[in-house]
Chains A and B, each alone.
Chain A
């Protein structure tokens, strides 16, 4: 049990916990918007944490460089993927959960339907 394995295991543990939380959220949250909000980001953050743990656990320069590039790519692509899923739900007029406050969105958002009030 070196300090290296302790730190690496801690990162892996946090990451897997976040992915597990995201899985529970995928089952529990009431509508698409909430799920897109929480799940995509919690899962990706858990993934980044797992990869950081693997960086610490793995010897060798090549592995570290490859993983750091993967982490950077992940951090740049997460918000774009989340936004595209949210936009797809919004444009296809997915119903929102009851109790959602909804601003009166005017025209000009690329769709001509009514705001997505609960159905």
Chain B
């Protein structure tokens, strides 16, 4: 269990990094990328929490978040591409 606790701390730090890049990011594509990265980190954290808290119901959340993360990334990328060309 100590390993999963340490893993959750690492994921929290990764989320901080993603937030920094979201604020700083020189281009909008950077921001889309950091949102995508943040989604991956949150999904990993939820899966680890399901093990840590012994709550398998959280795994359904993993499945849904995978789909939502993909759709939001594609939508964000399209938005960036469309706004630049107009």
Contact = CB atoms under 8 A, between A and B. Distances in A.
Interface SS majority for chain A: helix
Contacts of B48: 12, 50, 54
Contacts, number: 148
Given A12-B4, A13-B7, A54-B51, A46 B44 contact: yes
B46 to A, nearest CB: 10
Interface in A52-101: 54, 57-58, 60, 62-63, 66-67, 69-70, 73-74, 77, 80-81, 84-85, 87-89, 91-94
Contact of A26 (B10, B18, B67): B18
Nearest to B70: A77
Interface residues of A, number: 48
A88 B78 contact: yes
Interface in A9-24: 9, 12-13, 15-16, 19-20, 22-24
Nearest to B43: A47
Interface SS majority for chain B: helix
Interface size classification for chain B: 35 or more
Given A12-B4, A92-B84, A111-B85, A23 B44 contact: no
Given A26-B34, A85-B32, A87-B77, 13 more contacts: A9-B3, A15-B44, A19-B11, A20-B14, A23-B17, A27-B20, A50-B7, A51-B44, A54-B51, A66-B59, A77-B66, A89-B29, A94-B27
